[in-house]
Chains A and B, each alone.
Chain A
């Protein structure tokens, strides 16, 4: 039995995203709004400004879904999902966010992708630390 497989991690991410995570929709909305804003103003909304707007937003978005994400992590620990599998799932989840972030920016400037990456890194660290906290408490 391949206990830690990419398929299982993908399946977990699908389940997590299907759990009506508000943060995903809000993230998508914020990313699109800022991306479109930058596009229509022909780059007047500079990358720095985007960075300032996006990074705290992405961190606080995770906070709005804290209860749901906590519920999912607890469930996974109880049913015996391996710690490695959960970490893969968190990484994949963060990458999913990165794709969502990147779509509006990549059209304008490839370097904008860095902004998305920084936001994703914050999401990744936030999710991972939440998981470790819950695993300790379980």
Chain B
């Protein structure tokens, strides 16, 4: 089993804006170990979300390599990247990425359905994960009726249900008050310990970095390791 789960080598990414190109990530190099929780801190527009989307295979880099659990994402076609997202990497967008009109159970069940898991096993897995995040009683409630904190926990359950090796969370506490933010941060720490999942969180809130094993900062598309005293 590889100790390094995610490796980024000389990654560049730019977007076309009107007639010109804007470089979002510049020569990014990073290594993430299996089972660690890492915080990436940076202001809005610094390239945090782009970085997560590249690791999730939702975007492709202009240059450089991204290796996830031994797979070089450059070598995979769209189907290969989709399979990576269904089995190895789970991504939680800032707006939770749930289907509001469906129940908590339906939202969590769909990734399992795609992976071909039988019905009774799906049911058991959903109950387990709902017990873990403490939302068993909301199983049949529509997502639109949940609070922001509950939606975030359902999004985590949806991401966790396929037992991914890497969990990516984009500003998971941005829409929460501090009490709920702490609860979510502690949940991520438990996930790292209980599932041996690598958790990578991007945030603009420096207080959240206290919950991380290590932290990085991203400014104008350049990623750097930071020591606790710099936070």
Interface residues, chain A, with chain B CB atoms under 8 Å away: 1-3, 8, 11-12, 15, 18-20, 68, 71-72, 74-85, 138
Q: Given A18-B106, A19-B101, A68-B101, decide whether A80 and B113 contact each other with a Cβ distance below 8 A.
A: no
Contacts of A72 in B (CB 8 A): 99
Interface size class of B (residues with CB under 8 A): 20 to 34
Q: Complex: how many Å from CA A85 to CA B56?
A: 19
Q: Please state if A78 and B82 are interface contacts (CB–CB under 8 Å).
A: no
Shortest CB distance B97–A (Å): 5
Tell me if A's interface is mostly helix, strand, loop or mixed: helix
Q: Complex: how many Å from CA A84 to CA B102?
A: 23
Q: Complex: how many Å from CA A79 to CA B102?
A: 15
Q: Please state if B97 and A18 are interface contacts (CB–CB under 8 Å).
A: no
Return the contact of B82 from the options A2, A20, A71, A83 (Cβ within 8 A). A83
Q: Please state if B79 and A82 are interface contacts (CB–CB under 8 Å).
A: yes
Tell me if B's interface is mostly helix, strand, loop or mixed: helix
Most buried by A among B59, B78, B102, B115: B102
Among B84-92, B125-133, B215-223, the stretch in contact with A:
B84-92
Sample (23) of A-B pairs whose CB atoms are under 8 Å apart:
A2-B116, A3-B79, A3-B83, A8-B113, A8-B114, A12-B110, A15-B102, A15-B106, A68-B101, A71-B99, A74-B97, A75-B110, A77-B85, A78-B91, A78-B97, A79-B111, A80-B85, A80-B87, A81-B82, A81-B86, A82-B82, A84-B79, A85-B114
Q: Complex: how many Å from CA A15 to CA B99?
A: 10
Q: Please state if A19 and B102 are interface contacts (CB–CB under 8 Å).
A: yes
Q: Please state if B53 and A138 are interface contacts (CB–CB under 8 Å).
A: yes
Closest to B86 in A: A80
Closest to B102 in A: A19
Q: Given A8-B114, A138-B58, decide whether A75 and B97 contact each other with a Cβ distance below 8 A.
A: yes
Shortest CB distance B27–A (Å): 24
Shortest CB distance A10–B (Å): 11
Q: Please state if A75 and B98 are interface contacts (CB–CB under 8 Å).
A: yes
Closest to A75 in B: B99
Q: Complex: how many Å from CA A82 to CA B102?
A: 21
Q: Complex: how many Å from CA A3 to CA B85?
A: 13
Contacts of A74 in B (CB 8 A): 93, 97
Q: Please state if B83 and A15 are interface contacts (CB–CB under 8 Å).
A: no
Q: Please state if A79 and B110 are interface contacts (CB–CB under 8 Å).
A: yes
Shortest CB distance B130–A (Å): 17
Contacts of A78 in B (CB 8 A): 56, 58, 85, 91, 93, 97
Shortest CB distance A5–B (Å): 8
Contacts of B91 in A (CB 8 A): 78
Most buried by B among A1, A3, A80: A80
Shortest CB distance B139–A (Å): 16
Contacts of B78 in A (CB 8 A): 82-83
Most buried by A among B86, B87, B99: B99
Contacts of B107 in A (CB 8 A): 75
Q: Complex: how many Å from CA A128 to CA B83?
A: 21
Shortest CB distance B32–A (Å): 20
Nearest 9 CB-CB pairs, A to B?
Answer: A80-B86, A80-B85, A19-B101, A79-B111, A82-B82, A20-B101, A80-B82, A138-B58, A1-B116
Contacts of A15 in B (CB 8 A): 99, 102, 106, 110
Q: Complex: how many Å from CA A68 to CA B100?
A: 8
Q: Please state if B102 and A18 are interface contacts (CB–CB under 8 Å).
A: yes
Please tell me if B34 contacts chain A, counting CB pairs below 8 Å: no
